[in-house]
Amino acid sequence: MSVVTIGEVVVDWISTEIGTDFSDAKDFVRSLGGNASNVAIGLARLGVEVSLIGKRGDDPHGKYLDSVLKNEKVDLKHLIVDGGSPTAQCYVFRHEREEYSFFNWPRPNASHLLTEDEVEENSIAGAEFLHATGISLTIAPRRHAIIKAFKIAKRLGVPISFDAGFPTGEDRQARELALTALKTADIVKVNLSELEFWADALEKEGARDAMHGCNSAPAALAGAIAPDKPLSATIIDPLDERTKTASRQVITMGKKLSGFLNAANEKGPNLIVTLGAYGSLLITQDGRDVFAAALPAEAVSELGAGDAFIAGMISELIKCRKGRNSADASSKTAGSVDFLSALSSDEWQRVLTVANAVGALSTRSMTAWESLPTPDELSLLVKTAV
């Protein structure tokens, strides 16, 4: 069995200068990019079998992506080659305070054009996890392919990981499908600004429902989300000064969003909030909060650190499930999403610590994938955790 990632497969062109944009940047580094590709390589480096569902062009850029992914031992049998569309490219510009801007070109490109018909059940059946990101929901027809994959995984009992990173300026359908993904996934990751954005949006819709005595539908909720609201965190210091763990404000907001995502008759996702250099916080399906501190690394660039975090998280969760299989061969929950609800707080803290470590180690290079760690590198850093 393997993990399946689905979504963006891109060639990145990363500006080497801080503070430039497309009009004045001169020097670029070529690199593999795209959320699905980054997570896939992160998992493969850690010894996890992984396959990628996506689409590239039949051109030199696509062949470059193939060569990198094959060298990293990513299974490409579900990576489709589109002879009529160019490979996706993304120009990456780094600004002050580790903020980035992106220019995707051309539009449309092969990565955008993954269709529902190209997502087959046999590509997901038996997988240990399915992972996708909100970025992949921003354009059709790929957005519909992602949602189809989620529906297949849900029906088959394959755990779903969803990184809710999402550009809020996208169209109404993109926002609607992002909400569908949030409520379908078994694990949702947000950063602090995304936590504030989604908690605020869902709280406003909840107040509207209470006023009118109705239940919100995804379409109505999508309309309530301000498309031009920037993703910018208002919480400056997410740690409690005394305990050096997540602050009560962050925990409360996390539990608020978790509560909104829990449907009336079924459990919502386990919610993970990444706090950058401070660590990460988990709000479990049953309302527990678990914190793990960040681990140090000599950072060059934070590009792709969120994808690295996901790779570390999934890798460690697979180890947890295999450990439970070994301990109790008769367990009925070992091969399904149910094992997530059986994890103890200590097990979850170990998962967060490993994910934090993989994220930290990934920042050692300018690109999103080249410094993703091996198991030995990861083990050395995790051992330093108190």
Q: What digits encode the pLDDT tens for the residues 56-90? A: 999 999 999 999 999 999 999 999 999 999 999 99
| 168 Cβ contact list (under 8 Å, min separation 6) | 175, 197, 225, 226, 227, 228, 229, 230, 231
CA–CA dist 38, 235 (Å, integer): 28
DSSP 331: -
Per-residue pLDDT, 169: 59
CA–CA dist 20, 331 (Å, integer): 55
Per-residue pLDDT, 227: 44
Written as one string, the DSSP assignment of 367-384 is: SSSTTPPPHHHHHHHHTT
Q: Count of domains in the chain? A: 1
CA–CA dist 302, 282 (Å, integer): 21
Per-residue pLDDT, 91: 97
DSSP 110: G
366: CATH: 3.40.1190.20
Peptide bond before residue 141 is cis, with ω within 30 degrees of 0 = yes
Summarised one tens digit per residue, pLDDT across range 163-213 is 998 766 567 888 889 989 999 999 999 999 999 988 888 887 665 555 555
**Hey, what amino acid is at 192?**
L
CA–CA dist 263, 12 (Å, integer): 38
Per-residue pLDDT, 99: 86
Tokens coding 73: 């031992």
Q: Which residues of the chain have pLDDT under 50?
A: 220, 223-224, 226-228, 264-265, 332-335
Q: Are 133 and 165 in contact (CB under 8 A)?
A: yes
Query: Which residue range forms the structural domain that includes residue 34?
Result: 3-382
Per-residue pLDDT, 167: 65
Which 3 state secondary structure label does DSSP give 239? strand
The radius of gyration computed from the CA coordinates of the chain, to the nearest angstrom, equals: 20
Q: Are 45 and 26 in contact (CB under 8 A)?
A: no
Per-residue pLDDT, 336: 73
Cβ-in-10-Å burial (0-12, 13-18, 19+) of 141 comes to middle
Per-residue pLDDT, 1: 66
